[in-house]
Amino acid sequence: MPFVLANWMQQYYRFYTRYAVESWNNMSPMQYGMVLIGVFLFGWLLMKSNR
């Protein structure tokens, strides 16, 4: 049973890693800008909640 679970997790990890890399490599300037804005907002919210 642990071998089956480990194999499933490895396939899951490999699929989403490949998906993320392919998405990053084929990103348009607009999508890249949205990523930057999202990172900015997420960081701003984290810093704001630290008061």
Contact between 35 and 27 (Cβ < 8 Å): yes
Please give the distance of CA 26 from its chain centroid, rounded to a whole number: 15
pLDDT value, residue 33: 97
Distance CA 22, CA 26 (A): 6
Please give the distance of CA 24 from its chain centroid, rounded to a whole number: 10
Task: Output 2 or 26, whichever has higher pLDDT.
Answer: 26
Domain count within the chain: 1
Distance CA 7, CA 22 (A): 23
pLDDT value, residue 24: 94
pLDDT value, residue 23: 93
Give per-residue pLDDT as tens, 5-51.
889 999 999 999 999 999 999 999 999 999 999 999 999 999 999 87
| Reported pTM | 0.62
Domain that holds residue 35: 2-48
